[in-house]
Amino acid sequence: MSIRRILLALPLVCAAAFAAVPEHGVQLSNMDAAVRPGDDFNRYANGGWMKTAVIPDDQASWGSFATLRDTAAKRTADLIQDLAKTPAAPGSNEQKIGDYFAAYMDSAAIEAKGLAPLRPGLDAIAAIGTPGQLARFLGASLRADVDPLNNTNFYTENVLGLWVGPGFDDPDHYDAYLLQGGLGLPDRSYYLGGNDKVVAILAAYRAHIVKVLTLAGIADAEAKADSIVALETRLAQAQGNRADNEDVLKANNRWQRGDFAKKAPGLDWDAFFEGAGLSNQAAFTVWQPSALPGLAAVAHDVPLAVWKDYLTFHLINFYSEVLPKAYADESFDFYGRVLFGTPEQQPRWKRSVNATNDALGWAVGKLYVARYFPPAYRQRALAMVADIRAAFARRIDALDWMSPQTKAKAKAKLATLYVGVGYPDRWIDYGKLEVRRGDAFGNLQRAERFEYARNLALLGTAVDRSTWCMTPQTVNAVNLPLQNALNFPAAILDPPFFDGKADPAFNYGAMGSIIGHEISHSFDDQGAQFDETGRLYDWWTPADLAHFRDSAHRLAEQYSGYSPFPGVHVNGQLTLSENIADVAGLSAAYDGWRASLHGKPAPVIGGLTGAQRFFLAYAQTRQQVTREAALRQQIVTDGHAPAMYRAQAVRNIDAWYDAFKITPDETLYLAPAARVRVW
Calpha distance 285→163 (Å, rounded)? 10
pLDDT at residue 390, as a whole number: 94
CB neighbour list of residue 338: distance below 8 Å, 6 or more residues apart = 201, 204, 205, 208, 629
Domain with CATH 1.10.1380.10 in the chain: 118-322
pLDDT at residue 12, as a whole number: 31
Domain 42-53+375-416+503-674 has CATH 3.40.390.10: yes
Calpha distance 490→428 (Å, rounded)? 17
Calpha distance 365→490 (Å, rounded)? 9
Region of 198 on the Ramachandran plot (φ > 0 left; ψ -120 to 50 alpha; else beta)? alpha
The answer to whether 503 and 587 are in contact (CB under 8 A) is no
Domain with CATH 3.40.390.10 in the chain: 42-53+375-416+503-674
CATH of 118-322, one of 1.10.760.10, 1.20.1270.360, 3.90.550.10, 1.10.1380.10: 1.10.1380.10
The answer to whether 619 and 42 are in contact (CB under 8 A) is yes
Q: How far is CA 678 from CA 351, 402, 409, 522, 584, in A?
A: 42, 11, 16, 13, 7
Pairing of strands 174-180, 283-286: parallel
Could you say which residues of the chain have pLDDT below 70? 1-23, 150-155
**Dihedral Cα 598, 603, 608, 611, nearest 10 deg:** 10
Q: How far is CA 166 from CA 283, 534, 661, in A?
A: 14, 8, 47
pLDDT at residue 2, as a whole number: 29
Largest CA distance in the chain: 80
Residue 94 burial (CB count, 10 A): 18
Calpha distance 117→549 (Å, rounded)? 53
**Dihedral Cα 109, 314, 307, 133, nearest 10 deg:** 60
pLDDT at residue 135, as a whole number: 98
Q: How far is CA 399 from CA 394, 405, 527, 586, 592, in A?
A: 9, 13, 18, 17, 17
The answer to whether 282 and 256 are in contact (CB under 8 A) is yes
In 383-466, beta strands by DSSP E? 418-422
pLDDT at residue 265, as a whole number: 98
Task: Convert 432-464 to b/e letters by CB count within 10 Å (16 or more is b).
Answer: ebebebebbbbbbbbbbebbbebbbebeeeebb
Quick one: angle between helices 196-215 and 325-332, nearest 10? 180
